[in-house]
């Protein structure tokens, strides 16, 4: 009911159903006692247990269903192919699945499409009765006045065309495929969905279709679960079983053989009954005058019947038929017709008896009738089968526009993407401040480091674009309770330079200096690590870059060279500067080493490279600029130097954020 566009059917009071010509082949022999009957639900009449189908409609028509503890999913198949497979099994009963599949290549859907599966995959499915494969719509490319158009002319079976067009329309509006600008449904009797590509650098049609196959119902999964009910000793109850293709066909052929046998037995019985009646007529016609005199002298129909039976050795049926005969049939010409009919009936009865005595002849009839059905109703295959899956070549990166962008991450955890960045004018929430600015191509990614030692890698193109405050970073990742971002870096080589994910080669051949990341905790611990483990897009749960002692958290993560001095500032007003190479470089997440020894109640507020200036906010409310480069570089693990004579540090401001200049970076890289 309904249509391929999802139109609902009419109300039940308006719904009509009419059998197609091929459907009549399921009912044609129903009145010839070919199948068993059972009472209907109310017991007022009887219904057939099964239909005397003249072809394997379960395979040809297919079907799906769910019951208690079982389910079935049988896709439709081509009638001509299934009939040829049946003929093969009749001629060679021991044929294998591969032999049968020379004819049945795979499912054949009424809406066409392309089935993606290798022959070995289909053989396994038809051997086990279980499996799945992909079904895709079909398309072609047309050039129209310089414009490139993709024409989808077949959609997968069971998919609403209107819903598919709506899905593609959403992709067009979201501009997820560069150059795909419009979709129109121009279908009439035939499906025609037009996709328009524009622009000099529009995506190749093959890549467009690979994307649509991956992200829309232009490609669906066809499930095979060939669970059927097989005959048992009780004809009214079938036993569920998952069968292969050959077993299903064998069950049908056994059923068909029995159906044909019962049909011939019924026809023979009717023939013999008619022959018996005609033989009575023949006897009477040879003694017609005597029979008429006997009837005229009788006292009624019953008396006449008894006298005819006694006089001419007739049966009750013969006598009844003679007495019911109209007078005009006593004419000489009618008598000749009856004798001709008798001769023809005897000949036909003899032929049927010969067939019933020979199973080989019964099989010949089964085969002949199957071929007749295929000849009358068979159609060429509509669904193509291919072992090439274009979606295997799909790369999400191919559909990301290569554009420069800036990502702003704020101290309160808001993140946004913009085409340009001006920290003085960009919008932020009241009381919030910039934490990091990352620049790079939309194909590159941004790595966000958090207080709990996790690194989250997200493609820049996936950061929500906004001219407002942005989006909470918790919408993009699954942060733990109390987890906050503390730093972010980009992966664009124009900005990162040597830091752009060099593969670590730890060991004797490892040479310093080498660019790394350095992380410092509130408890005075520090560790170095490379970005290599964090080069790929992460899950929403991120990856660990360091481990923490109980109650500790990271306060700073930044880029550093091994021979570069780094500094840490504590709440009690102390600062320690040492070379980064004194901090161990770890191959995996670890707790690191002590960077600065803290006094009771003290904690690290910030850490940075010595070439960057910061400002400290004193507990008295005053601010003081700190030039770290003027501080003595000592060994790690000490208490550091005093920054204040009295009081404590409330907070550290800086180092100042610098917005990367992508154009200048590209020019420098070119030189």
Q: What residues are labeled active site?
A: 14
The residues, any chain, with a CB within 8 Å of residue 34's CB and separated by 6 or more, are: 52, 259, 260, 262, 263, 266
- Token pair 């038929």 in the structure block, residue: 321
Q: What are the backbone dihedrals phi and psi of residue 25, each rounded to the nearest 5 degrees, phi first?
A: -70, -15
Q: Would you state the structure tokens that stand for residue 567, as one six-digit string?
A: 């500094």
- Token pair 């309904």 in the structure block, residue: 2
Q: What are the backbone dihedrals phi and psi of residue 617, each rounded to the nearest 5 degrees, phi first?
A: -100, 115
* DSSP element (H, E) containing 139: strand 138-144
CB 575 within 8 Å of CB 643? yes
How far apart CA 658 and CA 419 sit, in angstroms, is 16
- Token pair 């009638």 in the structure block, residue: 79
CB 439 within 8 Å of CB 495? yes
CB 385 within 8 Å of CB 114? yes
Closest to 99 in 3D by CA, of 248, 254, 245, 251: 245
How far apart CA 499 and CA 487 sit, in angstroms, is 15
Helix axes 288-296, 301-312, angle to 10 degrees: 140
- Quick one: the chain helix, strand, coil %, rounded to 5? 35, 25, 40
How far apart CA 426 and CA 31 sit, in angstroms, is 84
CB 530 within 8 Å of CB 605? no
> Measuring CA to CA, how many Å separate 322 from each of 20, 498, 577?
42, 113, 129
How far apart CA 307 and CA 310 sit, in angstroms, is 5
How far apart CA 248 and CA 120 sit, in angstroms, is 20
Burial 57-76 (b: 16+ CB within 10 A, else e): bbbbbbeeeeeeeeebbbbb
Residue 530 CB burial class (10 angstroms; 0-12, 13-18, ≥19): buried
Q: How many CB atoms lie within 10 A of CB 88?
A: 18
- Token pair 């992909």 in the structure block, residue: 134
The residues, any chain, with a CB within 8 Å of residue 349's CB and separated by 6 or more, are: 268, 271, 272, 275
How far apart CA 546 and CA 558 sit, in angstroms, is 14
Using only C-alpha atoms, the chain has a radius of gyration, in whole angstroms, of 44
Q: Would you state the structure tokens that stand for residue 557, as one six-digit string?
A: 């993560």
How far apart CA 134 and CA 519 sit, in angstroms, is 48
CB 580 within 8 Å of CB 565? yes
310-314: which pairs have CB atoms within 8 A and are 24 or more residues apart? 312/283, 312/284, 312/287, 313/283, 314/280, 314/283, 314/284
CB 602 within 8 Å of CB 572? yes
Q: Would you state the structure tokens that stand for residue 580, as one six-digit string?
A: 């980064």
Closest to 50 in 3D by CA, of 272, 232, 281, 269: 232
* DSSP element (H, E) containing 281: helix 245-286
């Amino acid at each position: 009911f309904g249509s391929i566009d999802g139109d609902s059917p009419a109300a039940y009071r308006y719904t009509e159903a009419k059998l197609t010509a091929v459907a009549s082949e399921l009912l044609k022999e129903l009145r010839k006692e070919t199948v068993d009957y059972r009472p209907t639900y109310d017991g007022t009449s009887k219904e057939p247990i099964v239909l005397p189908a003249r072809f394997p409609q379960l395979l040809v028509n297919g079907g799906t269903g769910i019951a208690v503890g079982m389910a079935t999913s049988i896709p439709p198949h081509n009638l001509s192919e299934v009939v040829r497979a049946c003929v093969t099994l009749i001629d060679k009963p021991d044929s294998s699945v591969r032999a049968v599949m020379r004819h049945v290549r795979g499912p054949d859907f009424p809406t066409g499409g392309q089935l993606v599966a290798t022959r070995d995959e289909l053989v396994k499915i038809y051997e086990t009765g279980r499996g799945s494969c992909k079904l895709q719509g079909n398309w072609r490319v047309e050039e129209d006045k310089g414009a490139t158009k993709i024409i989808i002319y077949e959609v997968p079976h069971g998919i609403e065309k209107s819903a598919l067009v709506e899905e593609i329309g959403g992709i067009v509006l979201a501009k997820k495929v560069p150059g795909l600008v419009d979709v129109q449904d121009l279908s009439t009797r035939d499906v025609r969905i037009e996709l328009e590509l524009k622009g000099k650098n529009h995506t190749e049609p093959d890549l467009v279709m690979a994307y649509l196959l991956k992200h829309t119902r232009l490609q669906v999964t066809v499930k095979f679960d060939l669970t059927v009910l097989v005959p048992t000793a009780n004809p009214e109850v079938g036993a569920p079983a998952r069968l292969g293709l050959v077993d299903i066909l064998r069950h049908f052929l056994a059923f068909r053989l029995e159906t044909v046998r019962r049909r011939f037995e019924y026809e023979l019985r009717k023939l013999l009954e008619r022959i018996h009646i005609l033989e009575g007529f023949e006897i009477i016609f040879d003694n017609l005058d005597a029979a008429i005199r006997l009837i005229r002298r009788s006292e009624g129909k019953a008396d006449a019947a008894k006298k005819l039976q006694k006089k001419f050795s007739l049966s009750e049926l013969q006598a009844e038929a003679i007495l019911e005969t109209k007078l005009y049939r006593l004419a000489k010409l009618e008598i000749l017709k009856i004798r001709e009919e008798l001769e023809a009936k005897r000949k036909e009865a003899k032929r049927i008896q010969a067939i019933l005595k020979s199973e080989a002849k019964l099989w010949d009839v089964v085969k002949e009738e199957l071929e007749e059905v295929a000849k009358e109703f068979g159609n060429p295959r509509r669904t193509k089968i291919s072992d090439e899956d274009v979606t295997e070549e799909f790369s999400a990166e191919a559909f990301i526009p290569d554009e420069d962008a800036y990502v702003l991450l704020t101290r309160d955890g808001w993140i946004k993407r913009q085409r340009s960045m001006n920290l003085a004018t960009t919008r932020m929430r009241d009381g919030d401040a910039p934490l990091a600015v990352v620049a790079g191509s939309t194909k590159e990614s941004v790595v966000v480091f958090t207080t709990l030692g996790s690194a989250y890698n997200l493609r820049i193109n996936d950061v929500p674009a906004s001219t407002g405050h942005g989006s909470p970073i918790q919408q993009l990742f699954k942060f733990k309770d109390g987890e906050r971002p503390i730093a972010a870096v980009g992966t664009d080589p124009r900005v990162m330079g040597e830091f752009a994910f060099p593969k670590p080669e730890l060991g004797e051949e490892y040479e310093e200096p080498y660019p790394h990341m350095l992380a410092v905790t509130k408890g005075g611990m520090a560790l170095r690590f490379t970005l290599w483990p964090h080069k790929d897009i992460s899950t929403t749960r991120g990856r660990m870059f360091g481990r923490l002692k109980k109650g500790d958290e990271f306060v700073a993560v930044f880029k550093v060279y091994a021979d570069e001095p780094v500094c840490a500032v504590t709440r009690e007003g102390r600062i320690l500067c040492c070379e980064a190479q004194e901090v161990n470089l770890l191959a995996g997440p670890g707790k690191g080493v002590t960077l600065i020894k803290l006094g009771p109640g003290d904690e690290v507020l910030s850490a940075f490279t010595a070439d960057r200036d910061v400002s400290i906010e004193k507990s008295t409310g005053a601010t003081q600029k700190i030039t770290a480069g003027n501080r003595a570089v000592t060994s790690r693990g000490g208490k550091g130097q005093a920054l204040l004579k009295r009081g404590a540090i409330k907070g550290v401001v800086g180092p100042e954020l610098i917005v990367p200049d992508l154009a200048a970076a590209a020019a420098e890289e070119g030189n």
